Chains A and B, each alone.
Chain A
Amino acid sequence: MTERDSNTTQANGGDDLDAALRGWAGSFDRPEGETDMSSLVDAINQRLETPLASRVDVAGTSRIIGGLAIAASLLFMAAWGLQRMPRPEAGSVVNVTALQDEDISRQRRLVRGVYDLFGDRLSWLVVSPEGMRMGVDESSEPLDGDSRDAWRRFTGLRLVVVRRQETEEAWETVRELDVLAPLEQLVALDGVRLNQSEVGGQSDLRLWSFLLPDGGVAIDIEGALPVFGVLESGSHVLQPGAVTTIAGATADGWQYRLLQTAVVVDTSSGETGA
């Protein structure tokens, strides 16, 4: 099954919006004379005189001390309090694994294969138990320059819906969805079901990923999901191997969690990053 890439909405105006933004930015302007240049110069000089190492050390030390304190607290809890703690409400640790090497290899092969068929028009792929959907851009020019460059590295994002009865501890996976798209490619999905029966209804999701300067991946996700409702969030920063809970809901005696994990797949070298 194939569907159009729907990220072609154009909004070129925004005059009122731009004016409001400029008004906001301008409200912070101060006349040049009001800025105390000498104190700014002093502040910058002070920073310059502080060796980088010591600036880092301060933060690093407090982090270590904080870490030790947390570790000590955990040990204390383990030794003295565990038996008295309530049942693991947390069920909090959901046993969903990050994408494995075999998943990534499969994704890489899939992208290569579909790209061979559709070439630069391929915008994104979504793989679910029901099959595969793809976004195909039929406009004359790819949105992000040369798609071949874009697909050289792509984001493999896995969305997982898990649930459990409110009285149970164990979570069960009810849905997995892999979204493959070049970085900065908007993926607009409507009508993708995250669950066939219990969760019900259909989704309307928009996803967009980009690399952070430290090599991490940030993913914007917004839209609506049955049970979870409207998802409007900022960026979720993902680190390799991390599984993040991005939404939670309760319905009909079931607790639901929406989890995501992502990697950046390099199709040329066979390596993954993120």
Chain B
Amino acid sequence: MDYRITDDSELVRRRQQLGDDDALAELVRRHYTRVQAIVRPIVVKDAATDDVTQEVFVRVLRGIKGFKQSAEFTTWLHRIAVNACYDFLRRESRRSTESLDMSGPGDIAVDTTPSPSEASSEQELSQQIGHALLRLSPKLRAAISLVVLKGLDAAEAAEIEGCATATMHWRVHEARRKLSKILEFPLQREDASRASKQ
């Protein structure tokens, strides 16, 4: 069987019903990197990225019955990926909330990283971007992941997130604004016009 021409849902079905590992291998070959690329900016931590990405494939294989043939497989896959990230972050958040409670109220995040102007290498910039992403809410990180990095349009990203397109536009706007501030990147076109005062 030529798996290269088999569609995604058929590959999932073959793995589920026939235990066909070649079908799973083809599915992984097609999608692992792209799922990883969605997951990484949301969970940020490198070790967690592989863990969550693998979890996405497990969910796909376990949940294929919930997939409607009329829907786009990749949209469904991306939605599972984003939700797997949220689940992971929720667990992490509970842990960190517990540790925050233990350490008291003085632990407000303070930017102690050097400014980009002080960074001399790409590695430092990369670290700064990682730190900056961690300071965004998960939803804003997902917006960056889907729209800015994955290149989806806001309507597609909104479908994955189950929100209004306008909401997705707003999230991207807000995420860019915050990242620009944290990283001291000037936005190219900034119409900082506040609406007219009453």
Contacts and interface: CB of A to CB of B under 8 A. Distances in A.
A231 B110 CA distance: 8
Nearest to A228: B108
A34 B101 CA distance: 43
B111 A237 contact: no
Interface in A230-253: 231-235, 237, 245-248
Contacts of B40: 25, 28
B5 interface: no
Given A28-B40, A35-B32, A247 B105 contact: yes
B61 A17 contact: no
For chain B, what secondary structure do more than half of its interface residues adopt (helix, strand, loop), or is it mixed? helix
Interface stretch (A80-88, A99-107, A165-173, A210-218): A210-218
Contacts of B192: 9-11
B87 interface: yes
Contacts of B188: 13-16
Interface string A10-26: 11111111101111110
Contact of A13 (B28, B111, B190, B197): B190
Interface residues of B, number: 73
B195 interface: yes
Nearest to A247: B108
B164 interface: yes
A184 interface: yes
- Of the candidates A25, A208, A237, A245, the one having the most CB atoms from chain B within 10 angstroms of its own CB is A25
Given A11-B180, A233-B108, A45 B194 contact: no
Contact of A144 (B37, B164, B193): B164
B105 A248 contact: yes
B125 A16 contact: no
A27 B130 CA distance: 12
Contacts of B164: 144-145
A47 B137 CA distance: 29
Contacts of A212: 86, 90, 138
A48 B198 CA distance: 60
A261 to B, nearest CB: 14
Contacts of B61: 44, 48
A37 B198 CA distance: 61
Contacts of A218: 137-139
B6 interface: no
B134 interface: yes
Interface in B54-112: 54-55, 57-58, 61-62, 83, 86-87, 90, 93-94, 97, 104-106, 108-111
A92 interface: yes
B138 to A, nearest CB: 7
B135 to A, nearest CB: 5
Given A13-B188, A40-B28, A25 B104 contact: no
Contacts of B185: 14, 16-17, 20
A127 B144 CA distance: 34
Interface string B17-57: 00001001100110011001100110000100000001101
Given A4-B194, A5-B195, A11-B180, A213 B83 contact: yes
Nearest to B147: A18
Contacts of A54: none
Contacts of A5: 195
B122 A41 contact: no
21 contacts: A4-B194, A6-B195, A10-B173, A12-B173, A12-B191, A14-B180, A20-B125, A21-B129, A23-B126, A28-B36, A29-B33, A35-B33, A37-B25, A40-B54, A44-B24, A44-B57, A92-B104, A145-B167, A218-B138, A235-B137, A257-B105
Given A41-B28, A232-B111, 4 more contacts: A9-B193, A142-B166, A144-B164, A246-B105
Interface of B: 21, 24-25, 28-29, 32-33, 36-37, 40-41, 46, 54-55, 57-58, 61-62, 83, 86-87, 90, 93-94, 97, 104-106, 108-111, 122, 125-126, 129-130, 134-139, 144, 148-149, 163-164, 166-167, 170-171, 173-174, 176-177, 179-180, 183, 185-198
Counting from the closest, the 3 A-B pairs by CB-CB distance are A13-B188, A248-B105, A13-B189
